[in-house]
Structure formats: structure tokens, C-alpha cells
């Protein structure tokens, strides 16, 4: 017998769940669930059936070490480089620049609490739209 176990949430440990959720809401366009700034859990709702939410859960310790799982961001419009510039303004940092002189590659960034993610070429740059 075969069955599907859809992913309901992608969870992030966070020192400040609300602050991190605000950052990721700006990155993804997901809706910030109504919550209080001091709540220990904050949910971002993708508002798309079947898509997983992103849940930020408060933990007492700082992040240590490299993520074992990370998100890859593909901008739907514009360019990868424009998205990298926008994310830097939101508080992200560049950890590793894997862009090539031919315009290929990606940028490894981290969010305000140090969680790594990658920014790939946009859908436009890939010819997908």
C-alpha cells in the first residue's frame, strides 16, 4: 500500500521567532500569521493548498554549525543578482558567492540568525516564464 505524507511545515529553531518570521515573510511573500511578538511559535502561511508553511520555534541556544537542510530561493521575476541585493537590504549576509562569469551559479546567504539558504537564477533567467 502506498500513501503520501505531505510536508506540513518546514521548521526553523529561532532565538527570536517573530523577527525571523518577519524576515522570511519578506523573502517568500508568505503571510505572517497573526501572533504576538513574544509568542514562542510563529507561522508563515503560504496561502497555497498543499504548500508547506514555515514555522519558527523559540529555542534558548544560538545556532551552531552548518545547516543540514537549507532552502533554495528562485526569484519568479527580475534577476538573481537583484534578489541578492534586496535580501542584503532585508538583513541577509553573503556566505559564499558561487556565481560564474557566464552568469550561472548561485549565492549562499544567511538569514539574521545565521541559517544558510541559496539564491538561484530567476525563473526569467532560466527561460521558464
Q: What is the pLDDT of residues 52-104, one digit of tens each?
A: 999 999 999 988 888 889 999 999 999 999 999 999 999 999 999 999 999 99
* pLDDT computed for residue 1 by the predictor: 59
Question: What are the CA-CA distances from residue 94 to residues 3, 14, 36, 78, 87 (Å)?
Answer: 40, 20, 30, 19, 9
pTM to 2 decimals?
0.90
110-123 pLDDT, tens digit each: 999 999 999 999 98
* pLDDT computed for residue 111 by the predictor: 97
Amino acid at each position: 500500500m502506498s500513501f503520501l505524507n505531505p510536508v506540513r511545515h518546514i521548521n526553523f529553531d529561532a532565538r527570536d521567532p517573530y523577527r525571523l518570521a518577519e524576515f522570511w515573510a519578506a523573502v517568500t511573500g508568505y503571510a505572517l500569521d497573526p501572533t504576538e511578538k513574544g509568542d514562542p511559535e510563529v507561522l508563515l502561511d503560504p496561502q497555497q493548498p498543499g504548500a508547506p508553511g514555515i514555522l519558527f520555534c523559540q529555542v534558548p541556544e544560538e545556532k551552531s554549525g552548518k545547516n543540514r537542510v537549507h532552502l533554495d530561493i528562485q526569484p519568479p521575476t527580475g534577476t538573481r543578482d537583484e534578489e541578492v541585493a534586496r535580501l542584503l537590504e532585508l538583513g541577509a549576509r553573503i556566505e559564499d558567492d558561487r556565481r560564474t562569469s557566464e552568469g550561472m551559479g548561485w549565492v549562499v546567504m544567511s538569514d539574521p540568525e545565521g541559517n544558510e539558504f541559496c539564491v538561484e537564477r530567476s525563473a526569467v533567467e532560466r527561460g521558464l516564464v
